[in-house]
Amino acid sequence: MIGVVIAVFLMSSVQHGVQAQQLPPHVFIGSANVDGNPVPDGTVIVAYIDGEGISKAVVEGGSFTLMVEQPQEQSFAGKIIQFTIGDRKAEESQEWEPGGAHELNLHAGGGASPGGSLQDAIECTVKVLGRMPMGPQDMSDQERMMVFQECPAVRANLADLTASTQPVTQPGDGFRTELRQIEQEIARVQRETPIKIQQELERLDQEISNLDRDLWDQLQIELNRLDQQRFDTEHQMQQELRSADFRRQAQIEVKYRRILDNLERERFQTERQTQVQIEQEVGRLSRNRDITERQLWDDQQQELNRLEQRRFELEDAMERERFAGEQRQRDEEDRRRFERERQMEEQRFKQQEELERQRIEQERQRFEQERKLEDERFRQQEQLDRDRLEQERQRLEQERRLDQERFNRESQIQTGQRRTSSILNDPSSPIRAPINLPTRGFFSNSSTGEISDLDKIMDPTSLAVLGIILTLLATSLSLVKGS
pLDDT band at 45 (very low <50, low <70, confident <90, very high): very high
Domain extent listing, the chain: 1-110
From CA 21, how far away is CA 349, in angstroms rounded?
54
Q: Which residues contact residue 288 at a Cβ distance below 8 angstroms, ignoring those fewer than 6 apart? A: 204
% the chain with pLDDT above 90: 5
Classify residue 86 by its DSSP letter: T
Given a cut of 60, whether residue 144 has pLDDT beyond it is yes
Q: What is the mean pLDDT of the chain?
A: 77
- Fill in the amino acid letter for 78: G
State the Rg of the chain over Cα. 57
Which residue, among 19, 18, 31, 83, has the nearest Cα to 62 in the 3D structure?
Answer: 31
From CA 123, how far away is CA 117, in angstroms rounded?
10
From CA 135, how far away is CA 156, in angstroms rounded?
15
Which of 85-99, 256-270, 274-288, 467-481: highest mean pLDDT?
A: 85-99
pLDDT of residue 430: 54
Assess contact for 241 and 253: CB atoms under 8 A.
yes
Of 80-84, 313-317, 395-399, the one with minimum mean pLDDT is: 313-317
- pLDDT, tens digit (0-9, with 9 covering 90-100), for 445-474: 555 455 555 555 566 777 778 888 888 888
- pLDDT, tens digit (0-9, with 9 covering 90-100), for 97-120: 888 888 889 998 754 444 566 667
- pLDDT, tens digit (0-9, with 9 covering 90-100), for 297-313: 888 788 888 888 888 88
Round to the nearest angstrom and report the end-to-end CA distance of the chain.
90
Given a cut of 80, whether residue 155 has pLDDT beyond it is no
From CA 290, how far away is CA 36, in angstroms rounded?
39
From CA 219, how far away is CA 241, in angstroms rounded?
33
Distances, alpha carbon 218 to alpha carbons 72, 215, 223, in Å: 50, 5, 9
Angle, CA 481 vertex, CA 480 and CA 483 arms, to 5°: 65
% the chain with pLDDT above 70: 79
Q: Are strands 101-103 and 26-30 parallel, antiparallel or unpaired?
A: parallel
Phi, then psi, of 302 in degrees rounded to 5:
-65, -45
**What is the three-class DSSP state of 284?**
helix
Helices 2-20, 249-425: axis angle to 10 degrees equals 80
Q: Which residues contact residue 90 at a Cβ distance below 8 angstroms, ignoring those fewer than 6 apart? A: 32, 82, 83, 84, 106, 107, 108
From CA 131, how far away is CA 344, in angstroms rounded?
12
Given a cut of 60, whether residue 6 has pLDDT beyond it is no
- pLDDT, tens digit (0-9, with 9 covering 90-100), for 366-382: 889 998 998 888 889 88
Distances, alpha carbon 475 to alpha carbons 370, 382, 383, 481, in Å: 20, 9, 12, 10
Which of 38-47, 144-153, 168-177, 214-223: highest mean pLDDT?
A: 38-47
CATH number of 1-110: 2.60.40.10
Classify residue 95 by its DSSP letter: E
pLDDT of residue 171: 41
Given a cut of 50, whether residue 429 has pLDDT beyond it is yes
Classify residue 25 by its DSSP letter: P
- pLDDT, tens digit (0-9, with 9 covering 90-100), for 310-363: 888 888 887 887 787 778 888 888 888 888 888 888 888 888 888 898 999 999
Q: Regarding predicted confidence, which is higher, 337 or 13?
A: 337
Classify residue 117 by its DSSP letter: -
From CA 386, how far away is CA 59, in angstroms rounded?
100
- pLDDT, tens digit (0-9, with 9 covering 90-100), for 159-191: 566 655 544 344 445 677 877 888 888 888 888
Of 125-139, 206-220, 441-455, the one with minimum mean pLDDT is: 441-455
State the number of CA atoms in the 13 A half-sphere of 327 facing the CB: 6
Of 135-149, 189-203, 247-261, 351-365, the one with minimum mean pLDDT is: 135-149
